[in-house]
Structure 1
Amino acid sequence: MFKIVLKITITILLITLTLPNVFAGDVKGIRFWQDPEKTRLVFDVSESVKYKLFTLDEPYRLVVDIEDAQLKMNIAKVEIPNQLVKEIRSSQQEQTLRIVIDLKKGVSTKDFTLKPFQDYGHRLVVDLRDKNAKKQIVKTAASAIKEKNRDIIIAIDAGHGGEDPGAIGRKKTREKNITLAVAKRLEKLINAEKGLKAFLTRTSDYYVGLEKRTQLARQNKADLFISLHADGFKDPKVRGASVWVLSSKGANSEMGKWLEKREKSSDLLGGVESLSNKDPLVAQVLLDLSMHYSVGASINAAERVRKELSKKMSKMHGKSLRKAAFIVLRMPDIPAMLVEMAFISNPQEEKRLKTKKQQMKIAKSILTGVKSYFKSHPPDGSFYASLAKSQVYKVKNGDTLSQIAQSFGVSMQQLKSHNKLKSNNLRIGQTLTIPGV
């Protein structure tokens, strides 16, 4: 009996020794995403993995050890961003795969894993940030605030990005790419308008957290926040554009959150008042007034955009504004809207969304609606406000038609046509009306 047991044991041992190593997960891909604040490193893995990472100095390195894993891709073909990373290399230490990232400078790291989502499988994500980097603020927006008769600042938020593709059409069109394309077209149109200045919450294919998007709008003192999206639904027949604003339930919920954190928060209410030093009742009243204004202004601006879209789009989804508690709309100090440009899940609308013609049609409609809103609701101190207050001008000694036109930001031909002037000659005391922007 003992001999039989010994034979079985030896046999099992021999089989075990001759079997190849069994690995729990394979690294199938390594990718980098670059945005203005960080470099994101993504490991595509076959299943959820155990790992540990650490950084080293002199020279700067990031070391990632993944347990029970093997490298199943050509690491030499990984595209390396030039901001922080110098080189990437790997080694196998028994059951542990070691990835070494040679860095140009010291970094701070944040790591997490992601479960499969749409086209992506399991992922290990590591965010790298330059330890000494200063936070970037959009210069064009910040400088515009300081000017007399300042520009109106409009935050354009291209939905999704990076690891978040958004909705995906039947022809594999990704929402994140469409929203960025339209955002860039809209930014260009807005920046061509005197008195308006736009900035993008993301400028290329990287992910920005939802709360970070609203923080960027607040940091840059935006007067309006526009988030662009392309809807998706299981029924490919559903189609049409829609415009969304914050629901009353979402507004009340957000107001409660702000009041709860008011002692710790350094956020300014409307850029003027701080909640942290206010009596609780006063803080509630101030926030209620601000939220009431923000929601009302959002509805007004969004309705004008919806009206313009309805003129140009083949189909609108719904006959009025839609309301929801989207995170990017929850701002008590900045009017905000979310524009669903079409259903990317509808084959016809997916095809149109990819064209320059359709993207420009959407961007121009939004711009027209925005201009219409700010003509009737110009922010204090803005160029639009100065035009609203100076619709009539009385000619003084030394005035010329070209000087007057330039001071009001209109062309001389516009001024002549608006006042039905047959020549450039003016007389002292003559009253001119100034055309709107």
Structure 2
Amino acid sequence: MSNDPVAGRVRPYLVWGLGLAIYLLAVFHRSSLAVAGLLARERFDINASQLATFVMLQLLVYAVMQVPVGLLVDRFGSRRVLLCGLVVLTCAQAGFAFADTYALALLARVFVGVGDALTFICVLRLVSSWFPLRQVPLMSQLTGTLGQLGAVIAAVPMTLALGAFGWTRTYLGAAAVGIVLLVALLAFVHDTPTQRSLRGPALSPRDTLAGLAEAWRHPGTRLGMWVHFMTPFSANALGTLWGYPFFVQGEGQDEKVAGLLLTLMVVAVMTAGPVLGWLVGTFPFHRSTMAMGIVSAMVVVWATVLAWPGEAPLALLVLLVVVVGVGGPASMIGFDVARTSNPLSRLASATGLVNQGGFYATLLLVVGIGLVLDWRTPEDAAAYTPEAFRWAMSLQFVLWGIGLVQVWRYRRFARAHLRAGEAAAAPTAA
């Protein structure tokens, strides 16, 4: 390592920037089907439920892998796991470019989910290793927020590319970006300022299960998971698959306007992230209250849109994507609660447990929307009907109800745990 103090100050941001770029690419690949849903329906001759299966499998794989990925990072370090994730993502997206049958396309999306799952926790661990403790909350929030630029690139630019270059060349070009980042990762990313590759101690299955059980038993971990469950699924469902069809066929908007609405949602995500990061750091005992307030706002705006007679005005749809977009960075509150509730030795495991929440909720919603659309749309209809979308999008209220009840329960338990003096020195209650 160089003794140059300037290089010493710049190097952490270089490592973080490359990790962030890989996470951004993973978000792009995850979201790249959002504006291609209608094309995919024609290319593979599938219905809404089959279309939803693409995202269902991808998100299911992502959610199921969170705890194993946390354990892998603890054992083999961020650099190795991130390298594997980037290779899998690149190969999977290239396979999706050439897939000409529904089965092959499904297989490709499964491995997109695998590669995606191997990125985020790695970048968070790099942040913890390269930055002073006081900077970790801000850099973590910036990681989650700026990573959503991948969804911006997957909106309007992806729409234009599909129109200009077609399915195969567009997805193949997206896959090629991974090769460039792979070279940069190998050249510049180290696990810590003093070690290129970090290897943790091997754990027996019994020790691994004991650590997971201990993390899960802490009410702060469960509170974090339910916060993560209820905050991001609306934005995820719109951003990964159903937003574009909803705005075009459900609300009668032009295709370019639909793409701009999805882009605006991601801009809201990026704008709200730093603000929420400051609020969480300033008012740590009110973190779950912030999350419940944001969810309540989403409930009100969605209810207004769905109850509007006929097509909702564009101004209301703009308000919808802005409010829903705030739910993305609000999910980071769940990670902060888990971080202040667990020692470093089991932090990756706790982070994996929390990160499952929002993706299981997204999975349930994405699949449910597809099933309801098929149920409520006549067989001879050329497109999904606005009435079918009203029924389908109403499923969100069930998930929000479950999440709000559970957050209310577990924040009481977490606060009782803190009052009993059994928590860590940092505040556990939200």
TM-score range, shorter chain: under 0.3
More strand by share: 1
Which has a greater percent of helix? 2
Bigger radius of gyration among the two? 1
**Greater RCO, 1 or 2 (C-alpha within 8 Å, sep 6+):** 2
